Amino acid sequence: MDPVLIVVVVAAVVLVLGVVLVLVARKRSQSRRAALRSQFGDEYDRVVSEYGRRDGERELRARLSRRRELEVRELDGGERDRFGQAWESAQSSFVENPSTGLRDADLLVQQVMRERGYPTERFEERAKMISVDHPDLVERYRAAHRTSTEVEEGTADTEDMRQAMVDQRYLFDALLGGGDAARTRRM
């Protein structure tokens, strides 16, 4: 067989294999991207916008990995009842003094997170873990946190605090493992 023909055939085979490998890699990447989008919803877009696609997807995969390391547990009925009563107290406190009620609600959400096994040291770490388990609520949690910061600075009004309280309630109910959607409807 002619050596030139052998080189041409080998080159063609290598080229075809290269194209196949690229197509398989692209399909796998698209599949991983679709899985991340499905898992994180709007949080996917926010993170990719902030970090860029490659680094953003790496960040989201790191969150999933970190979350798998945590031993998050469900609350038992007694714990849910106790936290539910504490929420009612925070809500009553809100009526008398909105900033105190909102602070109490924020602390209660952190306490429930701690009890369940989530990290609670830094807000951003809490938000990242919430984005894994409750991606539909993480932006509400961030908004409530921003309002809490504005309360400390003296720049939040009562309506902002009311909305933050509602946002905290959504997350609180999700963390408790239940909740009344009608009672926490976004207004």
Distance between CA atoms of 44 and 40, rounded to whole angstroms? 5
**Total tally of structural domains belonging to the chain:** 2
- On whether both 24 and 88 belong to a single domain, the answer is no
- On whether both 121 and 137 belong to a single domain, the answer is yes
Q: 135, 129, 134, 141: which is closest to 165 by C-alpha?
A: 141
Q: What angle do CA 155, 160, 165 make, to 5 degrees?
A: 125
Distance between CA atoms of 55 and 28, rounded to whole angstroms? 17
147 part of a folded domain: yes
Please give the structure tokens belonging to residue 80.
């849910």
Question: Which of 50, 69, 88 finishes a domain?
Answer: 69
Report, in angstroms and rounded to the nearest whole number, the Rg of the chain calculated over CA atoms.
Answer: 24
186 part of a folded domain: no
pTM, to two decimals: 0.76
Question: Which of 19, 52, 69 finishes a domain?
Answer: 69
183 — pLDDT class (breaks 50, 70, 90): very low
Provide the residue range defining the domain that includes 54.
3-69
- For 18-68, write each residue's pLDDT tens digit: 777 776 666 666 667 788 998 899 999 999 999 999 999 999 999 999 999
Distance between CA atoms of 163 and 140, rounded to whole angstroms? 9
- On whether both 117 and 86 belong to a single domain, the answer is yes
181 part of a folded domain: no
- On whether both 81 and 61 belong to a single domain, the answer is no
